[in-house]
Structure 1
Amino acid sequence: MRKFIFLLCFLFIYKFVSAEDIILKYNSVTINRILSDLSIRYSTSLSFNESNLSEYKISIDGKYSTVEQAIAALLVNLPFRIKKIENVIVITPFNSNSIVSNRDSNNEIKSESKISVKKYIKGIIMSAVNGEKLPYAYISLRGKGYYSDIDGGFTIVLQDDIPVSQENRVEGTISYLGFTTVNVNLELSENNRIYINPAISFLDTVTVKAYLNSKAMQSGSIAGLIRVNYNIAKFLPGNGDNSVFNLLRMMPGVRSSGEPSFLSVWGSTNGESVIRIDGFRLFSLNNFNEQISSINPFIVKEIALNKGGYNATKGDATGAIVDIIGIDGDAYRPVFKANINNLTMNLFASAPLVNRSVIMASYRQTYYNLYDIDKLNPYGRGSENSSLSTQNDVYIKPDYSFRDLNLRFSSLLTPRSNLAASFYYAQDNFNYTLDYGDNSYDARESNNQYAFSLKLDKDWSDVGGKTSITGHYSSNTLDAENIKKYRSQNLLSFLTENLIGECGAEITHKINTGNNGNLDAGFSYKWLFGNHNGINDASGKIGAFVNENLVIRNFYINLGLRLDRFLGNSYFQPRLQGTYKISDQFKITAGVGLYNQFINKVPFIDNSNNYSYIWKIADNDNVPVISALHTVLGASFSKKGWLLTTEGFFKKSSDVLRFGRYRGSADVVKTNIEVMGVDILIDKEIKGSNVFISTSLSRVNEHYQSLNLPKKEYTPFEIKTGAVIALSPFYISSTFVFGSGYINPYKNALGDDPVSNDYKRFDISLNYRLTRAKFSIEAGLSVLNLFNNSNYKYIDALPFASGGQSGVLNIYSQAVPFTPIVSVQIVF
């Protein structure tokens, strides 16, 4: 242990005292490669044409005091000029009509060739810190907006109203969540490579007027879509290991009340909304509101919440879709990260290999508290496992544990092709003890999830277009032992084994169609498989989509069609999105579409009248394919750090399975559910600080297709506020959630009022951040549920029979009580 501590101290001291001179030591390396290395190693924003500079190889060995001097040494006697526009170093040719194509072995110019003027601008946007490709970066050219793709690439066909300079360049700006907005000069060519810096600089000698939390949220550009700056999640109250979900739960439309163990958006039921990372689906989400989430924050690059009305490229869901894009890793230096607190531990390491390849690994787990949280609770000890508090209520204190492993690999095979592989394993255990009379009875649930994905991207610049081939596998196995109360005398147990999974492949291709339009087309095959208590189920599904993106003056139009073939039936799903840009500040968005879902988590009642929720594949009989219609209409305004968005939504889902109760007996019935509501988000950023308010008000109507049950109607409501105050190097943050009108999942199997109590929770935190050129240290203190509000989380329902009467016992646990958390994070 002492040797390990000594080694860490040595590494820190070595990195801290290392000279900051710019060192160039290369032997016959192309200049574009050297510039890319410079940008990564010294956090410098560069703009240059890769194809121009890739023609030149150089051998150099020197030391320079600034990046500008180093670049000047590289370009001496070459026909290029260096300009600095704000914080971006721009390299352009002296004469835009000719460049040197190659040089002989004596480094002399052999010939010149004319450059043909392109009709489009093509390139890639990357982080200047570690070379990460930046997906969905925003590119503005004379008031017109464009986005990079999932791999940071962009292709823009120039229209006549965008002026081109005499050097065949176009002025514009590039912005990305959490990064500095930069002015750039993009050349009419295929290989613009733009490096931009995060909105905070680690160089002590440089003062940058930008902040880590800048551009905290992006909403209102596309109907139903919210993109969030992951950097802000680090400073929200909590320990960091649940920062992904902790941020999502504060977004409008995402349910926080009752702390459900699944993602619920716009009234979606358990399993209806989908979380995907690197192309595979996560099935086990028991920890959505626990202090460790299914997503390791160390591997996250991009978070996109598609609440509804999304385009035809996304399928197999009738609820929301959360797309999480994993990091590519630092291709130039090893990286180590550790986050340790009194509840969890998280370790991450990555190392570069040959040819810009990176291997990454991360591991997390929960463990017993380092101290007794109850002893620090000024309001008294938390609730213990207890006997019945009322005739129909049981309050328990569960024990939850979690661990996961992530292995990742990314490689730049060629300048125009990428390979990425990802492996995921997670295990969680949920246990509680129910005291009944003189006896104690244990209930348990265990989930094991395995997932793997492999993706190959190929850019066909010579013939146009981009192709992606993805293969994936994901499965989750549930093993549970639940309690059943029988005849008011005995507590018996029943076992549940449930497997669900999918594996398959997809090929997609994107081509440019002119006038800044592009066409996406894809074909996929999935094998769906499952098992419930020894009964196997499996089906194949074929899918295809075509999606056209058009930019016509101030209109952005996305028109698509998705077709799924399943169990001999065809499911056509047309979809339409549109954005009208009234001005640079004001936009109107709309989206409408049909959606289908073929795997869901459904209510189940066995022959012994035991209630549970299990994963099932649709069979067009007992488990129908869910169909949904989404309609979204919104408006947004952004100016001087203000972001105001409002979205009205209507969602109609058909053939959703619900518990129903008729004449004293419970059953599972098909239900049509209509959800209508409005989301509002107000966000203000000023000098690195951020304050936001989000609210969601909706009305839900449930119409049962049988049992002659009356229509159910309820009105969920939530208001959430958050603030991150930057007093660098200190950050103070707080969040507050109030919610009412939500229901528990077993509502119609019960005889009492299904609407839950009001939910209130206030969290606060203080964080300290120390950054140096080679390492950073963060320390935080958070208090969750500062005022110890009595919130309860619905866990399960126990059916029972007594004196010829049947009923249900509700099992609750206390939601997050007063909980102090101390955490430390180290990165080098």
Structure 2
Amino acid sequence: MKQVITIFICIWSLSISVVKAQSIEVDYLSKPLNEILVEWREQYNLQFSFNDALLANYKISIKQSFKSTDEALKTILKGLPLDFEKNDEVYIIFPLKKEKKPKHYTLVGKIIEKGSGEPLPFSHIMANGQQSVTDIKGVFSFNFSDDSVYQIKASHLGCYILDTTLVAGNGHTLVLNPSAVGIKEVVVTNNIVEKATQIGEESGLTSLNHHIANYLPGNGDNSVFNLLRLQPGILAAGEQPNDLIIWGGPEGTSRVTFDGFTIWGLKNFNDNISAVNPYMAKNIEVHKGGYGASNDDVVGGIVRITGKNGSTIKPGVNLFLNNQTLNGMVELPMNKKSSLMLAFRQTYYNLFGSEDIEYPNNMMIGSDNITETPAYDFRDFNVKYSLQGDNGDLFYMSMLYGADNFELDVDRQFKRENKQGQEVDTNVNHEQEEDNKQIGSTVFYGKTWSNGHSSSLKASYSALKSNYSLRREDSSARRNVNLVKRDDNAQNDVSEVSVNWENNLLAGEKQTITVGLEWINNDLVLTEDSFGIEYINLSERANRLALYVQDRFRINQRLSLTAGLRYNHSFFVNKVYFDPRLSLSFRASGNIKLNASWGRYHQFVVKSSIDDEDGNYLYTWTLADNDEVPVLSSTHYVLGGAYTRQKFLFSIDTYFKENDGLTRFIRYRQNDFIFYGDSRSYGVDLYAKQDFKGHSIWASYSLGKTEEHFSYFEEDGYRRSSQDQRHEVKVAGLFNIGSFHLSASYIYGSGFPFFKSFQDYVNQRYTEPNYNRLDASLVYRLSSQKFSGEVGISVLNVTDVYNIKYNQFSRIPKDQTNSVFINSEAVPFTPLLYLKLSF
């Protein structure tokens, strides 16, 4: 019986399998799908579950044979929004679920300053956890999915933080209230400045603006550079007047730009006047190293100064007067969208007297009677027209003209022995003059598109024309003859024309791609003659094309990556250079952020040093031709981090930089020798800032080392560079006491190696005088219905410490082995009374 049952089950299973595997013949013409399945159910003994009304909407036309039910169903349902699955013996037909496409929203707006309507570039804005920075137009843009309402937090250095809510769309305008406003509006319970974005957002980046500089000592004509010199990593000791040394970079490797054109640097023997008018400056970005691919082609640091656009609300007159210069600015609204700004500065008497030219006794031998007659004058002029669109577009034209002239006449009387051993009265007359003219202009148009993308087109021109002369004459009372020992003249002109086209593209919520194309032309003129005989006459022109791509990608809420590549084709040397750059930012917590960056950099317009037989240093701009002057190259490694909490900021930056392709000309007995070298810099910057009850104190410490190696070194090793300084400490404080504002700053530097001669440099024999300077300021704010202003006094170098300028001295030979050092002293005790008015 058991065997019979087993045989019966096998036969039944086989019959079922045969039924399942039986072929299906179909031949339909526009037959509803529901009727086809009913027919299959009756004809092939199949079971179906479906929505009869839904399937009746689909007409099937087909004639085909299938080996199985599954194959037949797959074919018939192909192309229809239907699918099937088998549950036991039942075929379930169901509609496909339509994948809901995420809705994409764009948030576009601009940030402006209350009162002036000025766009605030490089402001930080956070929307629902996403962080961004406004562009030069003050415009921000975001892409979001499935979210059209955003919690916004906007901040700009020197302004109160704004918390608000926005909905998706274009044309939003956020207005930030500056902390430095009239007395009636001061809220002393809040911070003076928004400090969290000042340092630590990116590797080697420091953000500054005019709000911080308002009450610093020397805040009149030089507030921009007084503020810069108080930042970590920017050399303050030595008070170099026409260049910034950032992280130990050789002279000429860092670049300052204003409104997009290069500030090549006036000589500016008087450090109380900067090359940029403070009335025109709005925002400052300092990139000390490790910056991205969209930045200029230099191997040092970059200081990018953005100028004001002018008030579109009401006309204004600003006047600044102290006991050295007159500074004035006029703002003229042309209509509700455009403005014209005019600014002018002028020294109104000779700023130098004999007492300002000194020489330390330990740098000369014997007693000489020396008479110095210096002369210095300075002037500059700015004009800027800007037009702001409702949608965030910005057009402006900005122009600068500046000029200064320095003259030094030194008479030295002394006795020397002639061949017969007799003392002879001798007079040496030293006449030195340098005349410089700085020109710059930019035309800029930036547009923000409705989808959040932005484009800009910028054309810039800048030039520096410099003339230098030196005449030295010996006269003997006994012989009654004049002997000309030096009669040198030099001209060094450098100019740059550039056209830049840049696009910032939003590629989803987490990605922004920057693509740019730039054409650069540089012209150079260098002529030198001695006693009327010309031995250098150089006129060169170089063109290059730069293309850069940069991708900012937010990997998650904590980690973001920026990768870029800059391509340079130098037609002058007929060579292509690729510079990859990479940076990472990691927010370890709400208060701690860590940064790292690496990059390759090249520089095509370089400053070469010239050492003469007297041991004097000169620097001339040259074009790198990879023949006599190589293209500078550098690699940057930067690690940093920042810790922020309410009213407190601490940051650290460590760096290592290598520079290759340095050029040095040694001029000895009318012969020139060219040597090539490299340098390396490494160190750490520490910075801390505390705000309390409307006051602010910050301090920084820089530890660094800069070494160089040239082919003429007798030993194959690195030596201290002339700009090498081991330690620098800076402390500054701003205090509000009712209508009074007190401030003070102190800088200590451990000093540079000071070589008395070129031979001492070769043998590394040097002195190392340190640097000390204490500045203080007291300001009383004026306020009425018709005007606002300030009355104040700034005292520079309160303790009248004698400091030496970096590379700002002349050596006058006394005899074959000794020299007299004439040093244009760094800022001495200088009280500055000033009046500042705004109407």
TM-score interval, smaller chain: 0.7 to 0.9
Cα separation, partners in 2 of 1:715 and 1:825, compared to 1, 3 Å: closer
Change (3 A) 1:753 1:482: farther
Which runs of structure 2 are paired with 1:448-527 in the superposition (5 Å)? Answer: 448-461=437-450, 465-483=453-471, 491-527=485-521
Structure 1 residues 608 and 724: alpha-carbon distance in aligned structure 2, compared to 1, 3 A threshold: closer
The answer to whether structure 1 residue 814 and structure 2 residue 825 are counterparts is: yes
CA contact (8 A) 1:519 1:548 kept: yes
Shift of 1:118: 4.7
AA matched with 2:833: V
Aligned to 1:824: 835
Cα separation, partners in 2 of 1:322 and 1:664, compared to 1, 3 Å = same
Equivalent residue number for residue 795 of structure 1:
808
Q: Is the 8 A contact 2:158 2:209 kept in 1?
A: yes
Provide, for residues 121-159 of structure 1, a one-character-per-residue CA deviation record: whole Å limited to 9, x for no partner: 221111121111111211223544322222111112236
Q: Specify the code of the residue in structure 1 equivalent to 2:364.
A: T
Structure-to-structure mapping, 1:556-571, within 5 angstroms: 556-566=560-570, 567-571=573-577
Q: Is the 8 A contact 2:357 2:822 kept in 1?
A: no
Per-residue CA deviation, residues 466-491 of structure 1 (Å, 9 max, x unaligned), is 11111111111111112458999755
CA contact (8 A) 2:797 2:828 kept: yes
**Maintained 8 Å contact 1:659/1:748:** no
Question: How many angstroms does 1:515 deviate by?
Answer: 2.4
Report how far residue 705 of structure 1 moved.
Answer: 3.3
Note if contact 1:387-1:436 (Cα within 8 Å) is conserved in structure 2: no
Distance 1:483 1:685, change over 3 A: farther
* Cα distance, 1:265–1:748 mapped onto 2, change above 3 Å: farther
Given the alignment, which residue of 733, 755, 760 partners 2:772? 760
Distance 1:318 1:579 in 2: 22
Distance in 2 between residues matched to 1:278 and 1:336, nearest whole Å: 22
| Partner AA of 2:159 in structure 1 | F
TM-score by length of structure 2 reads 0.78
Q: Which runs of 5+ in 1 are unaligned?
A: 1-115, 375-380
Which residue number in structure 2 is paired with residue 621 of structure 1?
627
Contact 2:565–2:579 at 8 Å: present in 1 too? yes
Which amino acid is 1:645 matched to? S
For 1:119, what is the secondary structure of its paired residue? strand
Whether the 8 Å CA contact 1:446–1:478 is kept in 2: the answer is: yes
Alpha carbons of structure 1 residues 435 and 389: separation in structure 2 relative to 1, 3 Å:
farther
Q: Choose from 171, 175, 179 the match for 2:151.
A: 171
> What is the alpha-carbon distance in structure 2 between the residues aligned to residue 640 and residue 204 of structure 1?
25
Partner in structure 2 of residue 197 of structure 1: 177
Aligned to 2:544: 541
For residues 175-228 of structure 1, the C-alpha deviation after alignment (integer angstroms, 9 at most, x for no partner) is: 111111111111111222212211245483786744544539710110000012
1:712 matched to 2:719: yes
- Residue 308 of structure 1 corresponds to 289
From 578, 587, 590, give the equivalent of 1:584. Answer: 590
Q: CA deviation at 1:648?
A: 0.6
- The TM-score normalised by the length of structure 1 is 0.79
1:431-442 paired onto structure 2 within 5 Å: 431-437=407-413, 438-442=427-431
Root-mean-square deviation (Å): 3.2
Task: Choose the corresponding residue for 2:247, options 251, 266, 277.
Answer: 266
Cα offset, 1:635, TM superposition = 1.3
In the TM superposition, what is the alpha-carbon distance from 1:174 to its structure 2 partner?
A: 1.1
**Aligned equivalents of 1:479, 1:664: Cα separation in 2:** 20
Specify whether residues 180 and 602 from structure 1 end up closer, same or farther in structure 2 by C-alpha distance, changes over 3 A only: same
3-state SS of paired residue (1:222): coil
In the TM superposition, 1:384-395 aligns within 5 A as 390-391=364-365
Tell me if the contact between 1:156 and 1:516 (Cα under 8 Å) persists in the aligned partners: no
Rounded Cα–Cα distance in structure 1 between residues aligned with 2:725 and 2:191: 39
Cα pair distance change 1:289/1:742, threshold 3 Å? farther
Cα distance in structure 2, aligned partners of 1:212 and 1:234: 11
1:681 aligns with one of 675, 683, 687: 687
- Kept in 2: contact 1:605–1:667 (CA 8 A): no
Distance 1:318 1:180 in 2: 36
Instruction: Give the match's secondary structure for 2:279.
Output: helix
CA contact 1:339–1:823 (8 Å) conserved in 2: yes
| CA separation of 1:521 and 1:400: change in aligned 2, threshold 3 A | same
* Pairing of 1:317-466 with structure 2 (within 5 A): 317-354=298-335, 356-368=337-349, 390-391=364-365, 398-412=374-388, 415=391, 417-437=393-413, 438-461=427-450, 465-466=453-454
- Report the counterpart of residue 260 of structure 2 in structure 1: 279
Identity across matched positions, percent: 30
The DSSP-based 3-state class of the residue aligned with 1:292 is coil
Contact 2:612 2:667 in 1 (8 A): no
User: What secondary structure does 1:232 align onto?
Assistant: helix
- The question of whether the paired residues in 2 share the 8 Å contact of 1:268 and 1:319 is answered with yes
Q: Distance in 1 between matches of 2:361 and 2:232?
A: 37
State the Cα distance separating 1:366 from its structure 2 match: 1.7
* Aligned counterparts of 1:756 and 1:499: Cα–Cα separation in 2: 34
d(CA) in 1 for partners of 2:390, 2:171: 14
Distance 2:821 2:437 in 1: 27
Deviation of 1:415 (Å): 3.2
Deviations 1:61-84 (A, max 9, x none): xxxxxxxxxxxxxxxxxxxxxxxx
Q: What secondary structure is seen at the aligned counterpart in 1 of 2:170?
A: coil
Q: CA deviation at 1:396?
A: 6.0
Summarize deviations over 1:755-792 as a string: whole Å, max 9, x none.
Answer: 54101111111011123465311111111111111112
**SS of match in other structure, 2:403:** strand
1:775–1:827 CA contact under 8 A, matched in 2: yes
**Structure-2 change in CA distance of 1:283 and 1:206 (3 Å):** closer
Q: How many residues are treated as equivalent by the alignment?
A: 697
Structure 2 Cα separation of the partners of residues 384 and 807 of structure 1: 18
Cross-structure match for 2:30: none
The one of 214, 237, 256 aligned to 1:257: 237
Number of the residue aligned with 2:416: none
The answer to whether the 8 Å contact 2:350/2:376 transfers is: no
Q: Following the alignment from structure 2 to structure 1, what is the Cα–Cα distance between the partners of residues 392 and 689? A: 39
Whole-angstrom distance in 2 between the partners of 1:605 and 1:147: 45
